[in-house]
Structure 1
Amino acid sequence: MKRKMRLITSVLALTMATSALTACGSDTKKDAANTPAPGKTADAGAKDTITALLPPVSPNFQKTFDQISKEFTEKYPNLTLKIEPASWEDVKQKLDTQVNAGSPPDIAFGGSETIPKYLQQGLLMDISDVITPEMSGDYDKTPLEYMKKGNALYGLPAYMEVHALGGNKEFLEKAGIDWKKIQQNGWTYDEFREAIKKGVVKEGDKTRYGFVFATKGVAAIDYLAIMAKNAGMPHKFTKDMKYAYTSKNYLGLLKDLRQLIDDGSMPKELSSVDAGKRWNMLLTGQTMVTGKGLAVFENSAKTNNAKIKANDGSAVKDSIPLDYIVLPAPTFQGAKASSSTVVDGYLTFRGKKDPTAEHKANVMKAAYFLSSGKVAATTNNDLFAAQITQSGKKEAANMKVDRNPDNIAAVENMLKNATPARSDIPTELEAKAIKLETEVIIPKLQAVLAGELKPEAMYEAVKAAAIQTFGADGVVKD
């Protein structure tokens, strides 16, 4: 009888142990599904450090770095997130230097359009094999597609926004411009040209311009690239992989952009205007319309307005109250609107040697932590950008956002015409296009804007370089 009881007790103990193990296994799977750990629980694994190079994504983003690192380690006690801050002007140079040395950070914030460039250098890390369905399912489909090349995934998106223009409401209305109509229906180049002429005001030796766009430094290519999408060239390559910037539309666009300077609507010194100066000119009343403009500018304007009202000396010098209005870019030569959509995010890199499976999974955890949930919700609210993850939307539900409803509607309207992602363009073609852009297009555009080169001469130079790069049959001929 005693032997029988011992046998029953042993069976019961084994059954309970098996049940406990099964329960633990279920909890582990559940935890893995609800955390950014691909197949691992938050406290599993050896100690590891993930490095990240991050610019001021939003006005307050860099102020939260210590808190972000702390909360990441609280979630993953064995992991450390080491963040290196950089300015917008410096981040590209720092990243390029590190990539060229073969020792990039694990994560760097950058535009999805730079993926071909870094992919060509062989140091981007495909994370498609470590991202879980729960994680990938957290993102809106479209922005996630921007981070792909073929079936490979090279990072996670932080936001999807439209490169728009921005205007001073008071100046627009004084010039008799129906900005609400423009927000909903857009405007052609001819309509835009006449409108910004009305915004030019001369007072003594001072001039308020109708339009200013940053064309120096990190913004050197933005002006041309954004406008080209609205000029019948939504991508650098057509669907049959012909380089698009040899089109007659490209020459027409160059002429139009130069014409705005010749009209006096834009400053002759436009080629020296960087992103900071462009924004200061709008804040100080030196221009009616500016570009490129993101939704965050409305928030930045409100913040500066509060400083002006408080008279505490912290506002931008000589700035005036600004009611910021979102405006679409004009369309050129009868082309359909194709809004320049920006998807920036956390690109994932590897060094010269393949990372261990565990380190790769840890980089994935960090990228997901930065681009979802509380971090994403806080950053995107600060940017006035839409949340693109379900976890971010949930966290943002109770966060207040003081945003002009007309601007919200304008952005939503532009997103309807957003330029779609093109993951089908071969990496080698995109890399060659970026090289052509860097070596030919940017310096030639600077010369056109400075009045040192005719648009026709730039067009011929780009055309010749394109034929040399892609071959006579690899470019658009129209």
Structure 2
Amino acid sequence: MKKKGWLTLLASLMLVFTAACGGSGGTKTSDGGTTPAPGGGGEAAPKEDKVVVWTYPVHGKYEDELKEHVADLKEKYPHITVETEVLSWAEGPKKFDVALNAGNPPDLYFHAVDGAYVDTGLALELTPYITDEIKNDYLPGTLELGQIQGKQYGLPLYQSLWAWGGNKKILEEAGIDWKSIQENGWTWTEFKAAADKLTTKLPNGKTRYALVTDGTSLDFIEMLTRSNGMPDVLNDKGEFQWNDERILDTMTFISDLMKAGHMPAETAAIQPAKRMDWFYAEEAAIVSKAIPYYDVMLQNRAKDIDSGTVQGEKIDFVLLPVPHNDGAERKTSMFGEGYVAFKQKKDKGEEHAKNTFLIMEGLSGAKAGNSANELVLPFVRKSQAEYFEGKGLGTEPTIKAAEIFANFKDIPVTLSLDAKNSGNQKKFKEQVVKPNIQALFSGEKTPEEIAQDFKDKGKQILGQ
């Protein structure tokens, strides 16, 4: 054989040997898979991409936790750069709405799914990317919390639970049987009777109020209307609810608390963080809204008091159900919060959509269950429950109370509404409900005037 033939044969054998030995330059990832190396032959190396994530300080340690998740994802998907921004609860929603309306939302946004997002045409439907393995990992009824009319747009991270929170010492000194209330609930009449006992003058001349809430959000009114037979402004059939005697009764209940001095006169100006200052100072017996995480938060505060880094009295937390109208059923506000995926007006293509889902799944998996664990909320995935088994942070009474409250949960109406109704409901809340609630707290409008305004504006905005 000629020399040229030998060289050709030798080169062929070297190629075969290289392929057999896996010499493509691929690297092992942390989960045992292999990531192709650039220029390694075979399949083309994945194209470099960037996924933008906007989120919130979900719990006290979430920013550090997020950095760990991003590092894990970079190891698993080296071709994807994850750019994160942690928004403030106060300003974040406005920033997101501006970006969404401009057609340039982040790829992933931490929020509950919303039909108004779908109405923009920019929400990314996830059905093509969700495998059976992922579906089967979700606990019954939890994956649906990321759906709008049966289509998947989000992956829930936990099941949120809204309630009220009380100071155990103050409640017991006033003779309030909080254990019975956790078990059996309480009516508006029963709450008013308790409020009479809880509202008092303190030795320093200040008033201790029965209840303090913030006056800038809609959480308070939504919890009370839900506890008066109205699941939301609309019901799951899209029918207007806040246009009859039930909304007038709800407004009157709030107005009566204000007139009786059970809530601060300056409620309309109280920011969410400020209401907790009242609670810490023991100038509020009960705070709305409260989530089970407040139990952990107050445990950590007690440690800081012991160490001398924080001044104040230690507070033992009691999770309380929202009182319901005397003729209505007890209800708990629960919904799924997690990541929702979006496209941009200038679509970045299918590969980017797939990469977005890879990051979304990574931020919602087993280790991400720490958010539910920290917040003392129900897990949504089997892998999360297994990963954090025996590591629960809440006290036994709070965990038990949350389990009881969950038996009375209302499925969010927004999951059943079409995009038009969902968008109109959001518009009604922003343009009509917010200013009217402020006017109610400040005494500028009567419950009757507000109820009439709801009827009138409901015809204009909702067509009902």
Q: TM-score range by the shorter chain?
A: 0.7 to 0.9
Q: What is the aligned partner in structure 1 of residue 397 from structure 2?
A: 406
TM-score scaled to structure 1, two decimals? Answer: 0.85
2:61 maps to 1:60: yes
The one-letter code of the counterpart of 1:158 is L
Trace 1:435-474 onto structure 2 (pairs within 5 A): 435-471=427-463, 474=464
Contact 1:283 1:301 in 2 (8 A): no
Counterpart-to-counterpart distance in 2, 1:151 and 1:121: 18
Trace 1:324-335 onto structure 2 (pairs within 5 A): 324-335=317-328
The one-letter code of the counterpart of 1:278 is R
Counterpart-to-counterpart distance in 1, 2:99 and 2:62: 23
Counterpart-to-counterpart distance in 2, 1:206 and 1:95: 40
2:283 maps to 1:291: no
2:406 maps to 1:415: yes
**For the aligned residues, what is the CA RMSD?**
2.4
Identity of aligned residues (%): 28
Q: Which deviates more, 376-385 or 428-437?
A: 376-385
Structure 1 SS opposite 2:181: helix
Aligned residues: 429
Q: Which of the two has greater helix per residue? A: 1
- Unaligned stretches of 5+ in structure 1? 1-18, 22-29, 33-42
Q: What is the aligned partner in structure 2 of residue 8 from structure 1?
A: none
Q: 1:468: Cα distance to partner?
A: 2.0
Give 1:358's match in structure 2, choosing from 351, 362, 367: 351
Contact 2:126 2:154 in 1 (8 A): yes
Q: Give every structure 1 segment of 4 or more consecutive aligned residues whose post-TM-superposition deviation is greater than 6 Å.
A: none
Q: What is the aligned partner in structure 2 of residue 368 from structure 1?
A: 361
2:386 maps to 1:387: no
Contact 1:236 1:245 in 2 (8 A): yes
- Identify if the C-alpha distance between structure 1 residues 303 and 467 changes in structure 2 by more than 3 Å, giving closer, same or farther: same
Alpha-carbon deviations, 1:437-476, whole Å to 9, x = none? Answer: 11111101100111111111011001101122333xx3xx
Q: What is the aligned partner in structure 1 of residue 27 from structure 2?
A: none
Q: What is the aligned partner in structure 2 of residue 85 from structure 1?
A: 86
Q: What is the aligned partner in structure 1 of residue 212 from structure 2?
A: 212
Alpha-carbon deviations, 1:166-203, whole Å to 9, x = none? Answer: 00000000000000000000000000111122111212
Contact 2:210 2:284 in 1 (8 A): yes
- Identify if the C-alpha distance between structure 1 residues 244 and 137 changes in structure 2 by more than 3 Å, giving closer, same or farther: same
Q: 1:156: Cα distance to partner?
A: 0.7
Counterpart-to-counterpart distance in 2, 1:155 and 1:378: 18
Give 1:261's match in structure 2, choosing from 253, 258, 261: 258
Q: 1:269: Cα distance to partner?
A: 0.7
Counterpart-to-counterpart distance in 1, 2:56 and 2:133: 28
Contact 1:59 1:383 in 2 (8 A): no
2:122 maps to 1:123: yes
Structure 1 SS opposite 2:275: helix
Q: What is the aligned partner in structure 1 of residue 52 from structure 2?
A: 51
Alpha-carbon deviations, 1:376-407, whole Å to 9, x = none? Answer: 22222221222211121122125x33422121
Counterpart-to-counterpart distance in 1, 2:161 and 2:86: 25
Counterpart-to-counterpart distance in 1, 2:45 and 2:227: 50
Structure 1 SS opposite 2:424: helix
